[in-house]
Amino acid sequence: MPTFPIYLDNNATTRTDPRVVDAMLPYFSEIYGNAASQSHAFGWAAATAVSTARAQVAELIGADPREIVWTSGATESDNLAIKGVMELFPDPGSHFITAVTEHQAVLDTAKHLEQTGRRVTYLSVDSFGQISLDALRAALTPETVLVSLMMGNNEIGTLQPVAEIGALCREHGVLFHSDATQCIGKMPVSMETLPIDLMSLTAHKMYGPKGVGALYVRRRAPRVRLTAQMDGGGHERGMRSGTLNVPGIVGFGKAAQICQNELADEQPKLVFLRDRLIGRILETIEGTRLNGHPTERLPHNANIAFEGLEADALLAGLPEVALSTGSACSSEAVSPSHVLSAIGLGSLARSSVRFGLSRDTTEEEVDWVVSKLGEVAGRLHRLK
């Protein structure tokens, strides 16, 4: 028997790796200096730790440490990338392209741009959740400044063809931002080869602490410029002011180092468990289908529709497992997720469950969850 509860909501957040916590602890009450204090050893020690973490995060993504800007998480990184670039082009006609399945941090930022007079194109996606390169090509105009398309979707796991998207943007002299929050630490991502100019990442999706993230900002070919969104002491080379969260940054660095060392073993393990989970559910539970792309998907995500069943009822029958549904609750109404609606699921959106795996997930847990899901689904079908 596995140990309960079983945590399968790793697309929402991951457990902080105990090795990360150990690395962070001295930076609260022992090495607690301000990394910007240059006149004493407390500050120097903090600055050294920040610079080690910067190198660790940079190494994981094949970047130069000077291309890493610390933020409070991917929401802030998305805001900084998009507003930071678009504010350099204040003309009402300046144009931004994104997709309907982006994270709210990008979509709400796009709405903000519209409110300030910019033109925004929201690309639609196919039934797997991918955008069309032809549609992107057609949407690009001489006024287009920036394209923002995520690398891997947090709900359905679909990967976008970011290499091709980036190449198209380069051809048109347009900057490309990608929210890679769900991919970093789960699959190899290298800025040495990917034509991405700005990239958002966050520590808590890769076994690091919450409240710390980074924005990758390309320094060469092209050198990307940004308007700061946080004014103040001029930290992070003027791009993001505010005293650095040293323990969080140290944790982010350690999490990156562990991913760097273990990714080659972890990725195939995640893919094996994900495919076992998907395969067994589709084989043994009537009326199930996979949402998102069958192969071009995150190693640690599965999203399954259970035809004729309410996802909330399924989850209520599985109190031993932490899962999430394809619904988002606003104040009173529960509305189907914008991503599931965008891939054309219709009413099946309310019947969909997201499974997020991690480095701690075991085969025993996967098998137990599939078998219990089968029982609960069978019972709910009989009750209809």
Q: Which residues are catalytic?
A: 329
- What does the alpha-carbon distance between residue 226 and residue 113 come to, in Å, rounded to a whole number? 15
Q: Which of 105, 275, 126 minimizes the C-alpha distance to 181?
A: 105
For ligand PLP, give the closer residue by CB, 73 or 336: 73
E strand map for 73-211:
95-99, 119-123, 144-148, 175-179, 198-202
For ligand PLP, give the closer residue by CB, 166 or 213: 213
For ligand PLP, give the closer residue by CB, 256 or 309: 256
Q: Give the nearest distance from C-beta 157 to ligand PLP in angstroms.
A: 11
Residue by residue, DSSP assigns 276-291 as HHHHHHHHHSTTEEE-
Q: Which of 192, 135, 142 minimizes the C-alpha distance to 163?
A: 192
**Residue 135 structure tokens:** 């549609």
Q: Are 249 and 235 in contact (CB under 8 A)?
A: no
Q: Give the nearest distance from C-beta 76 to ligand PLP in angstroms.
A: 7
For ligand PLP, give the closer residue by CB, 100 or 313: 100
- What does the alpha-carbon distance between residue 202 and residue 12 come to, in Å, rounded to a whole number? 12
- Position of minimal CB gap to ligand PLP: 73
Q: What are phi and psi of 14, to 5 degrees?
A: -110, 160
For ligand PLP, give the closer residue by CB, 212 or 285: 212
Handedness of CA 39, 41, 43, 44 (dihedral sign): positive
Q: Give the nearest distance from C-beta 381 to ligand PLP in angstroms.
A: 32
Q: Which of 204, 220, 263, 202 minimizes the C-alpha distance to 69?
A: 202
* Residues whose CB is less than 8 angstroms from the CB of residue 280 and which lie 6 or more positions away in sequence, other chains included: 366, 367, 370
For ligand PLP, give the closer residue by CB, 105 or 290: 105
Q: Which residues bind ligand PLP (CB under 6 A)?
A: 73-75, 103, 105, 150, 154, 179, 181-182, 202, 213
Q: Are 179 and 106 in contact (CB under 8 A)?
A: yes
Q: Give the nearest distance from C-beta 172 to ligand PLP in angstroms.
A: 25
H helices of 140-201, in order, are 162-171
Q: Give the nearest distance from C-beta 377 to ligand PLP in angstroms.
A: 27
Q: Give the nearest distance from C-beta 47 to ligand PLP in angstroms.
A: 24
**Residue 43 Cα distances to 21, 30, 363, angstroms:** 21, 12, 46
For ligand PLP, give the closer residue by CB, 288 or 324: 324
Q: Which residue type is seen at 376?
A: V
